[in-house]
Chains A and B, each alone.
Chain A
Amino acid sequence: MRAAQALQVRNLSIEFGGVHAVEDVSFDVEPGETFAIIGPNGAGKSTIFNLISRLYTPTAGTIHYGEQNLLELPAHKVVHTGIGRTFQNIELFEHATVLQNLLVGRHCHMQSNPFASFVFTPGLRKTEIEHRRKVEDIIDLMEIAQYRDERISDLSYGARKNVELARALCTEPSLLLLDEPASGLNNEETDDVSFWLEDIKHDLGVTLVMVEHDMNLVGQVADRVMAINDGKLLIIGTPDEVRENPEVQRAYLGIAE
C-alpha cells in the first residue's frame, strides 16, 4: 500500500451557473491525520469532495496530493494516486452482489481485457483468486460476511453503508474521503463506525477526510476540523476551537448570539 501523503488544496473555487458553490477554499491535510469538514447543508462540502475526485472541474484553484497535481488527471485515474471515497447517497452497484461490488473495488489493481476474459486464462484465474483473498480480509474487517452473495437491492441501509465503506477500502487507499459516514445511522451503528475509523487509521495508516454532521463523532475521531458556510472557509482548528468559534456557532450550531 502506498504511503499516505499530504493533500494540498489552494484557492479552490467552482461556480454553477452563477452560484459560487465553493469559493476560494484552501486547506492542508497531513498524512495520517483525521480531518473533518463541517457546515450546514448546501455549504459545499460534498462539492469539495467531488472536486478532489475530479468528478467536477474547478473554475479556479489547485489540488495536489503529494507531488501529483490532481487537476491533470481524469476522474478514473484519481484512485491510482491512492485516494478512495464513499458517497453521501450510497452509490453502490444496485443489481450486483456485495462480492461483485467489492471486487470492482480491486479494479484499480487488476489488469484484464475482453480477450483474456472470454477464455478465462489461467493467469486471469490466478489474479481473481488473489484479489478475492484481499477482499475477504476486508469482509472480515467490516463484518459483512453474511451478505457476501446478496444483491445490494436486498440489503438494509446500515448494511449498505458498511459495504460502501468496505468497497472504498478494497482500493487500498492512502487517503479516504468519507462523505457523511454516519448519516442515517442510529447511535449504536455510529459507534461502530467510529471504531472502524479508528481501526482503519491505526492498522492501515490511512488519512481520513470526512464530511460529517454528527458532532459527537467528529469530536471523537477528528484531529482537526474545517468549518464551511456558503462555499467559503470559516475556520480550521481542533474540534474544540471550532466548536467555540462564534461564527461557526451562528452559522451552523444554531446557537443564538
Chain B
Amino acid sequence: MAASYEKRGNRLLPLDDIVHLAITGIAQGCAYGLIALGFVLIYKATEVVNFAHGEFMMLGAFAVLAFSEALGWGFWPAFVLGCLSIAAVGYLIDATIMRRIIGESQASVFILTVAFGFIFRALAGMIFGWNTRSLDTPFDGKIAIGNLVEINSDRVAIIVATVVLVGAIYLFFGRTRYGVAMQAASQNQLAAYYMGIPVKRLVSFTWAIGAFIAAAAGALLAPVTQIDTTIGLLGIKALAGAIVGGFGSIPGALLGCILIGVIEPFADYYLPGIKGVSAYVVMLIVLFVRPEGLIVQTYQKKV
C-alpha cells in the first residue's frame, strides 16, 4: 500500500489514498482495540494491568499456526482451537499466579506481568523458532467499496470480527448473570463473596475471555504482520490507545485504539521523524489535557 507512492512531504494526498489509509488505519486500530479489549476486561475485573497481554496475541497467532500446520486442519478449526488453547493459558495464569498476589502493590504487579512477557516471548521462540512465519487465511483478495477504493479482505475481516466480538462482550456483561456477577466482583470482592459469587473462578474466566480475544486478534492480524515473537509488542500501543479513550470503559478503549490506528499512518506520512512513537505522543497529550481519557471512570472516594 505505502509502496505505491513516495512520501511527498506536506502536499495533500489524493482522496482515494486518504480513504485507503483511513480504512487500513481503522483496521489496524481495530486490531489494537481487540487487544485493548482484553486489557480493559481484566482491568475492570481485577484492577490489574496485564502488560503481557500483547503476548497472548502473539501466542494465539502461533497456536493457530501450529494447529493448522502440524495437524493439517483448515483455518477455522485451527482458529477456534488455537484461541481456546490460549484462553486456557490465560485461565491458568490467573488461577495459579495472579490469585496469590491479590493486594500487592501495583508496582509489584506491573513488574510481574512484564516478567510474564519475557517468559512468553522466550518460550514461544524456543518452541516455535525465531524465524518469521506466515499464516494462510481464507481472507485473500480484495473487496471493493463502491468504485472508490479496494481494500484487502483481511483488513475487512478484522473490522468485522471486532464488531462481532465487542457486541458479544457487551451483551455478555450487560445481560447475562455471569457478566453482572463479574461487574460486582470487580467493584468489591469481599461483598461479592458474601453474595455467594465464585469470585476466583469468575476472575480466571475473565482472563480466559481476554486471552481468547487477543489470540483471535493475533490470528486475524497474521496476514498483515506475519508471525514472529515480537508482534506482541503491539500490545503497548493498544495500551496507549486504551488510555486515550479512557481506560475503564470498553467503548472508550476501542475508540482510542481506532483513533491511534488512523492517526499513525497519517502522522508517519507528514512527520517522518515521529516514526513509531506517534501513538505515545498522542497518549501523552491526552494524559496532560484530559487525564481521565475521553470517558471518565473514577469517582470520588467516600470517606
Touch A–B, Cβ below 8 Å? yes
Decide if A162 is an interface residue (CB 8 Å cutoff): no
Complex CA–CA separation, A87 to B303 (angstroms): 7
Contact with B along A60-86 (1 / 0, CB 8 A): 000000000000000000000000000
Complex CA–CA separation, A55 to B301 (angstroms): 10
Decide if A101 is an interface residue (CB 8 Å cutoff): no
Decide if B131 is an interface residue (CB 8 Å cutoff): no
Interface secondary structure of A, over-half rule: loop
Complex CA–CA separation, A46 to B300 (angstroms): 13
Residues of A within 8 A of B302 (CB): 46
Complex CA–CA separation, A162 to B300 (angstroms): 26
Complex CA–CA separation, A179 to B302 (angstroms): 13
- Minimum C-beta distance from A42 to chain B (A): 10
Residues of B within 8 A of A91 (CB): 303
Decide if A252 is an interface residue (CB 8 Å cutoff): no
Are A89 and B303 neighbours in the complex by a CB distance under 8 Å? yes
Interface secondary structure of B, over-half rule: loop
Contact with A along B146-171 (1 / 0, CB 8 A): 00000000000000000000000000
Complex CA–CA separation, A109 to B21 (angstroms): 62
Residues of B within 8 A of A238 (CB): none
Within 8 A of A (CB), among B261-303: 300, 302-303
Decide if A93 is an interface residue (CB 8 Å cutoff): no
A contact residues, range:
10 to 19
- Minimum C-beta distance from A152 to chain B (A): 15
Decide if A50 is an interface residue (CB 8 Å cutoff): yes
Contact with B along A170-203 (1 / 0, CB 8 A): 0000000001000000000000000000000000
Within 8 A of B (CB), among A147-179: 179
Residue of B nearest to A21 (CB): B302
Complex CA–CA separation, A46 to B303 (angstroms): 7
Complex CA–CA separation, A179 to B303 (angstroms): 9
Are A88 and B300 neighbours in the complex by a CB distance under 8 Å? no
Contact with B along A1-28 (1 / 0, CB 8 A): 0000000000000001000000000000
Are B300 and A56 neighbours in the complex by a CB distance under 8 Å? yes
- Minimum C-beta distance from A209 to chain B (A): 16
Residues of A within 8 A of B300 (CB): 16, 56
- Minimum C-beta distance from B303 to chain A (A): 5
Residues of A within 8 A of B303 (CB): 46, 50, 55, 87-89, 91, 179
- Minimum C-beta distance from B273 to chain A (A): 37
Complex CA–CA separation, A16 to B301 (angstroms): 12
- Minimum C-beta distance from A90 to chain B (A): 10
Complex CA–CA separation, A56 to B303 (angstroms): 11
Residues of B within 8 A of A56 (CB): 300
Contact with A along B179-213 (1 / 0, CB 8 A): 00000000000000000000000000000000000
- Minimum C-beta distance from B298 to chain A (A): 13
Complex CA–CA separation, A151 to B295 (angstroms): 39
Complex CA–CA separation, A43 to B300 (angstroms): 17
Residues of B within 8 A of A50 (CB): 303
Complex CA–CA separation, A189 to B302 (angstroms): 26
Complex CA–CA separation, A241 to B302 (angstroms): 31
Complex CA–CA separation, A89 to B300 (angstroms): 15
Complex CA–CA separation, A55 to B303 (angstroms): 10
- Minimum C-beta distance from B97 to chain A (A): 24
Contact with A along B121-152 (1 / 0, CB 8 A): 00000000000000000000000000000000
Complex CA–CA separation, A56 to B302 (angstroms): 10
- Minimum C-beta distance from B106 to chain A (A): 14
Please give me the 6 A-B residue pairs with the lowest Cβ-Cβ distance, nearest first. A87-B303, A88-B303, A89-B303, A91-B303, A46-B303, A50-B303
- Residue numbers of B with Cβ under 8 A of A are 300, 302-303
- Chosen A-B contacts, 11 in total, with CB atoms closer than 8 Å, are A16-B300, A46-B302, A46-B303, A50-B303, A55-B303, A56-B300, A87-B303, A88-B303, A89-B303, A91-B303, A179-B303
